Amino acid sequence: MKKTRVGLIFGGRSAEHAVSLMSAKSVWENLDRERYETFLIYINRAGEWCLTGNASFQEDELSRESFRSFMPWGGEWARAVDADIYFPVLHGPNGEDGRIQGLFEMAGRPFVGAGSFASQLAMDKVAAKMLFAQAGLKQAPFLHFSENIHEQVAELVEKKLGYPVFVKPCALGSSVGIARAGSRRELLAAADVAFGYDRRIVVEKAIAMREIEVSVMGNDEILVSAPGELLPSHEFYDYSDKYLEGKTQFRIPVRLGDEVEAQVRRTAHKAYRALFLNGFARVDLFLENGSQEILVNEINTIPGFTAISMFPKLWQAQGIAFGPLLDRLIGYGFDHFDRRRENVDEGIGR
* Range ranked top by mean pLDDT from 79-83, 324-328, 339-343: 324-328
Check: CB of residue 8 under 8 Å from CB of residue 40: yes
Q: What predicted TM-score, i.e. pTM, was given to this entire model?
A: 0.90
Per-residue pLDDT tens over the stretch 147-188: 877 778 899 999 999 999 999 998 876 567 899 999 999 999
Q: Specify the pLDDT at position 181.
A: 96
pLDDT at 303 over 70: yes
Give the DSSP letter of residue 208. S
Per-residue pLDDT tens over the stretch 98-129: 999 999 999 999 999 999 999 999 999 999 99
Strand partners, 212: 229, 285
pLDDT at 332 over 60: yes
- ∠20-25-26 over CA atoms, to 5°? 100
pLDDT at 350 over 90: no
Dihedral sign from CA coordinates of 5, 107, 217, 57: positive
Domains of the chain: residue spans and CATH:
4-112 (3.40.50.20), 122-138+208-322 (3.30.470.20), 142-205 (3.30.1490.20)
Weakest mean pLDDT among 6-15, 149-158, 273-282, 313-322:
149-158
pLDDT at 239 over 80: no
Give the DSSP letter of residue 146. S
Q: Percentages helix, strand, coil for the chain, rounded to the nearest 5?
A: 35, 25, 40
Q: Specify the pLDDT at position 234.
A: 57
Going by pLDDT thresholds of 50, 70 and 90, the confidence category of residue 7 is: very high
Q: Specify the pLDDT at position 247.
A: 65
Residue of 64, 67, 45, 46 lying closest to 56 (CA atoms): 64
Per-residue pLDDT tens over the stretch 181-216: 999 999 999 999 999 888 999 999 999 999 999 999
- φ, ψ of residue 197 to 5 degrees: the values are -100, -25
Going by pLDDT thresholds of 50, 70 and 90, the confidence category of residue 71 is: low
Terminal Cα distance for the chain, rounded: 33
Contacts of range 32-36, beta carbons closer than 8 Å, 24 or more positions apart: 32/323, 32/326, 32/327, 34/3, 35/1, 35/3, 35/4, 35/327, 36/3, 36/4, 36/5, 36/6, 36/330
Going by pLDDT thresholds of 50, 70 and 90, the confidence category of residue 14 is: confident
Q: Specify the pLDDT at position 175.
A: 67
| Surface-to-core class of residue 348, CB atoms within 10 Å of its CB (0-12 exposed, 13-18 middle, 19+ buried) | exposed
Going by pLDDT thresholds of 50, 70 and 90, the confidence category of residue 15 is: confident
Q: Specify the pLDDT at position 73.
A: 56
Reduced to 3 states, what is the DSSP secondary structure of residue 319?
coil
Share of the chain above pLDDT 70, in %: 90
User: What is the spatial distance between Cα 299 and Cα 333, in angstroms, rounded to a whole number?
Assistant: 19
pLDDT at 237 over 70: no
Weakest mean pLDDT among 122-126, 224-228, 306-310, 340-344:
340-344
Element at 9 (helix H, strand E)? strand 4-11
Q: Specify the pLDDT at position 271.
A: 98
Per-residue pLDDT tens over the stretch 16-64: 899 999 999 999 999 999 999 999 999 999 988 988 988 889 999 998 8
